[in-house]
Amino acid sequence: MSLLVVGLSHRSAPVSVLERASLSADAKVKLLHDTLAAEPATEATVLATCNRIELYADVDKFHAGVAELSTLLAQHSGVALEELTPYLYVHYEDRAVHHLFSVACGLDSMVVGEGQILGQIKDALALGQELHTAGRLINDLFQQALRVGKRAHSETGIDRAGQSLVTFGLEQLAVRTPVAEWAAGKRALVIGAGSMSSLAAATLARVGVAEIVVANRTADRAERLAEILVASGTGVSAVAVPMARVADELTRVDVVVSCTGATGLVLTADDVLDAVSWGSAPDPAPHTPAGPDAAPAGLELAGQDADVLARLVAAARDGGRLADAGAARTISAAVEADGCPVGPDGRAALTGVDANSLELHGTWADQGEAAAQRQPRRSTRTQPHATTVRLALLDLAMPRDIDAAVHRIPGVRLVDIESLAEASADAPMAADVDAVRGIVAQEVAAFGAAQRAAHITPTVVALRAMAAEVVAMEVARLDGRLPDLDERQRAEVTQTVRRVVDKLLHAPTVRVKQLASEPGGAGYAEALRELFDLDPQTVASVSRADAADPMNDDDPGRAS
């Protein structure tokens, strides 16, 4: 076995690199065709999800294989090789098997224990089979990976360690509120009708949203998904709309989940800003300051002059918002979509504010921007707005569907792949993870032993064929020397010679298969060929016959 995997994932590369390196359906096909056209690879398939791209291949040369697969990944992903290389990882032989089995069990997922990866592994195998790029090794490996993943989920509580990316994303949108309570009665828009979008729609229906609108470029798929949701028995109302209606639907929904194969943005910051500006939203609960010039409750005042603060509050009283460390905080008056005293274009948004007060406000806002830049990035991505969330957005696409800038819009909460990666880094590991790791170790050892044993089987079969040929030649020779033997005598002599040969070969062939199944046992096949002077072409023909017939597995009766 010379299995090689070259890839990158959320564990090795930042989301910005993964986003750019994503593969379209056509790119996957071209990548696999080019991989087989390359000299080191004899079979291959690609596993590409929203947070990983991995190219699996059976290669005859390790270093040449790594160089070729890395170059092909860079070529088809559109990211230059020198930029991609620092984020690539390489696994070979047993380590490659261990990696795929761990992936199948959800141990390498962004959300540990999620089961959706099994469907993606199945899709990767199906693609290799459809394109005829998956040979015996890839077929055996991926089919076994699927069995290992199912075993892990059925024999352990790994499901308790995590959940699907969709469920985890909804939990992040709901913050500290139970998802079912947060989702009850909400209206949702699902953009896309693929496997991830379908899972998202089903999850939303299960947790209790009242209405789901499905938008997709292919109308038939959107309508089919809507029909399935209505028939699911959850009581959800579901309709399909064309993509042209997305902007209108944004104004009337509470939650958006987007996962399409688009290469550009599906929702821009302007789209979202227009939606929350025109959509109906409940006003935030009013807050009454202690005095006419009092600071808003909860506003951090450390290091700020009290007089300056009082003047700023007085200056901004009509606008109703102040900038503090990059986040908008609500004060006494009802606010518009963005009531900061200084608008985004730098022009004053307040009437009658004296220049001195406006200058002081600008100074404080600048200090806030500097403070925001000194904070860790995740603090600006994962903290909910102080205002009521008007629109919750979950972006599960790679590359992203929703402009990351929307998280700066008041009343909008965005959770995307990047923020999910940050949040999952703090998720506790379940005790069952150790049990799954044990299963993976067992299965890797068993798979390696089976592959090494299968590797020597053609040699053993060729040896037995040679022995049978020798027996046949000697019986024919005996017939020439003793022509008077009757049929019963000739059969007895023939059977005796065969028994002698079988007994002489039994122990060596059984033992060599046992030795070959152990790590480092690949050399025993070569030793057997050398000792018995076996014709390499005969051994190769047996190997080709086995590869052509997947059901022609090792038969203990033939080899012993």
Binding residues for substrate: 49-52, 109, 114-116, 120
- What is the residue whose two structure tokens read 């040449």? 64
- Take residue 202 and report the two structure tokens written for it: 């089903």
Q: Bridge-partner residues for 256, per DSSP?
A: 189, 393
**Contact (CB, 8 A) for 20 and 264:** no
50 is catalytic: yes
Please report how the helices 523-531 and 487-516 are oriented relative to each other, as an axis angle in degrees rounded to 10. Answer: 150
- What is the residue whose two structure tokens read 């606010």? 335
For residue 239, the Cα-to-chain-centroid distance in whole angstroms is 29
Binding site residues, as ranges? 49-52, 109, 114-116, 120, 192-197
Residues 400, 267: Cα–Cα separation, whole Å: 10
**Contact (CB, 8 A) for 140 and 56:** no
Residues 513, 105: Cα–Cα separation, whole Å: 30
**Contact (CB, 8 A) for 32 and 111:** no
Q: Which residues, in sequence order, are CB contacts of 522 under 8 Å at separation 6+?
A: 452, 455, 516
Q: Bridge-partner residues for 535, per DSSP?
A: none
Q: Bridge-partner residues for 55, per DSSP?
A: 6, 46
Residues 337, 284: Cα–Cα separation, whole Å: 12
- What is the residue whose two structure tokens read 């597995």? 553
HEC string for 117-150: HHHHHHHHHHHHHHCCCCCHHHHHHHHHHHHHHH
Catalytic residue among 50, 105, 259, 340: 50
- Take residue 323 and report the two structure tokens written for it: 């900038």
Residues 359, 345: Cα–Cα separation, whole Å: 16
Residues in the chain: 560
Residues 255, 90: Cα–Cα separation, whole Å: 39
Find the Cα–Cα–Cα–Cα dihedral 123, 128, 129, 134, rounded to 10°: -130
Q: Are strands 391-395 and 327-330 parallel, antiparallel or unpaired?
A: unpaired
Q: Which active-site residues does the annotation give?
A: 50
